[in-house]
């Protein structure tokens, strides 16, 4: 009976003494955590240590300075019958014996039925004046202005090493961004127009007033006399059909070579000049980032450090002059240049947490660098520009992913 009472007492008081022992043992007071499921790494439950940011980056743009001197060649060859307001082509006539009247043939008459001119103002008596124009600007037409807003994109990688100063988190970031270089200016500048004038005599077909047919010589070829070119719609070569049904060339002919050269003094003119600088630059940056939690979802971050810029741009200068006759004449010079420049940066952002792994950011950015020169040279022109990246300010925004 006594043994039974002792067993009952021990069973009743054992849980009480066990709880006292558990309070005295600090390890027993820790909350029990179940092990991870089989096949799942323990790091799966750890907070994300890395972050990838993708967004847009807008900077104020570089400053562009430009200077140079250029000329506009005629780009024609008068010795071959080519002018800015007309040309002399190969004669396509055949004589009565069906021999073509080429200049190289023995029966050539020094004239051509294939030619054209641009304006009635070129008619000069019994002939026409054809011109070769060229122009030169008068000075070192310098320009300087701020480039266009430099839009671009950025990718930033952030690594959390677990460094903290109180609530302040210290991470390391590395980023790559791409921004545009854009500049365009149009202006009218003063210049000098040089004109080469060649006079060509013209010859009209003799027409029988009774029959309306061309008057033929003893060999059966049309005859011609000096006369002015047509003032209306001009077409060359041209032909008619005589009363016998034969096709006869009735073109107004022009001398195959100029009968004289007319000297023309250089004259003032206006040149339209367009300057453009287009390109892009990559910025590779790295440094520490300080992040301070503000609320459950908001935090502020500040980063800065050294950077490296790889820039490339194309300088294009187009000069155009409108001569008195013929189409406008244009000359374009272009050059492409690449370089690497030292730089530094500073970014400040406000981050908003959407989920445990995604968030949004909006902030300001600053970037400082040096500049570079590029130039284009030819026998017609020499132009130089400077792209000064300098200090650029802007904004950045995008989305980040934690993993």
The pairing of strands 329-353 and 358-369 is antiparallel
Query: For position 140, what pLDDT does the model report?
Result: 72
Query: For position 244, what pLDDT does the model report?
Result: 67
The pairing of strands 267-293 and 298-321 is antiparallel
Judged against a pLDDT cut of 50, whether residue 3 lies above it is answered with no
- Phi/psi of residue 122, nearest 5 degrees: -85, -15
Average pLDDT, the chain: 86
159 Cβ contact list (under 8 Å, min separation 6):
49, 50, 171, 172, 173
Judged against a pLDDT cut of 90, whether residue 199 lies above it is answered with yes
Query: For position 48, what pLDDT does the model report?
Result: 81
Question: Whole-angstrom Cα distance, residue 51 to residue 358?
Answer: 9
Q: pLDDT tens-digit profile of 138-170?
A: 987 788 888 889 999 999 999 999 999 999 999
**Residue 107: pLDDT band by 50, 70, 90 thresholds?**
low
Decide: pTM greater than 0.85. no
Q: pLDDT tens-digit profile of 228-248?
A: 998 776 777 887 776 667 677
Query: According to the per-residue pLDDT averaged within each range, which of 27-31, 257-261, 360-364 is highest?
Result: 360-364
- Phi/psi of residue 270, nearest 5 degrees: -115, 135
What percent of the chain is helix, strand and coil (3-state, nearest 5)?
A: 10, 60, 30
CA angle (379, 383, 389) in 5-degree steps? 155
Query: For position 106, what pLDDT does the model report?
Result: 56
Judged against a pLDDT cut of 70, whether residue 176 lies above it is answered with yes
Burial track 256-284 (b if 16+ CB lie within 10 A, e otherwise): bebeeeeeeeeeebebbbebbbbbebebe
3-state secondary structure of 11: helix
Are residues 111 and 224 in contact, defined by beta-carbon separation less than 8 angstroms? yes
User: Strands, DSSP E only, in 230-328?
Assistant: 239-241, 247-249, 253-255, 260-262, 267-293, 298-321
């Amino acid at each position: 009976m006594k043994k039974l009472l002792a067993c009952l007492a021990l069973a009743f008081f054992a849980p009480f003494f066990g709880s006292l022992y558990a309070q005295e043992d600090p390890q027993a007071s820790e909350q029990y955590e179940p092990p991870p499921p089989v096949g799942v790494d323990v790091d799966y439950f750890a907070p994300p240590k890395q972050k990838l940011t993708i967004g847009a980056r807008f900077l104020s743009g570089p400053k562009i300075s430009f200077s140079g001197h250029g000329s506009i060649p005629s780009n024609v060859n008068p010795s071959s019958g080519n002018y800015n307001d007309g040309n002399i082509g190969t004669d396509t006539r055949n004589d009565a014996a069906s021999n073509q009247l080429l200049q190289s043939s023995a029966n050539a008459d020094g004239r051509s039925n294939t030619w054209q001119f641009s304006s009635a103002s070129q008619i000069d008596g019994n002939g026409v004046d054809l011109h070769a124009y060229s122009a030169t600007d008068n000075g070192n037409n310098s320009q300087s202005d701020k480039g266009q807003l430099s839009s671009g994109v950025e990718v930033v990688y952030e690594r959390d090493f677990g460094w903290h100063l109180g609530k302040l988190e210290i991470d390391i970031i590395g980023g790559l961004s791409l921004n545009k270089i854009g500049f365009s200016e149009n202006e009218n500048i003063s210049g000098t127009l040089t004109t080469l004038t060649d006079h060509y005599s013209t010859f009209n077909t003799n027409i029988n007033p009774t029959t309306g047919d061309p008057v033929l010589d003893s060999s059966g070829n049309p005859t011609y006399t000096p006369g002015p070119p047509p003032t209306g719609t001009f077409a060359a070569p041209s032909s008619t059909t005589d009363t016998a049904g034969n096709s006869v060339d009735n073109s107004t002919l022009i001398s195959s070579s100029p009968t004289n050269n007319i000297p023309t003094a250089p004259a003032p003119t206006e040149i339209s000049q367009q300057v453009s600088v287009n390109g892009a630059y990559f910025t590779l940056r790295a440094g520490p980032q300080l992040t301070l939690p503000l609320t459950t979802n908001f935090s502020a971050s500040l980063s800065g450090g050294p950077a490296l810029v790889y820039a490339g741009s194309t300088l294009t200068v187009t000069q155009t002059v409108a001569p008195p006759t013929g189409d406008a004449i244009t000359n374009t010079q272009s050059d492409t240049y690449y370089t690497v420049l030292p730089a530094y940066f500073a970014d400040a952002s406000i981050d908003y947490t959407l989920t445990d792994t995604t968030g949004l950011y909006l902030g300001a950015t600053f970037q400082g660098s040096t500049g570079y020169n590029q130039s284009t040279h030819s026998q017609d022109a020499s132009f130089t520009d400077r792209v000064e990246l300098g200090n650029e300010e802007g904004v950045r925004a995008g989305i980040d992913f934690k993993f």
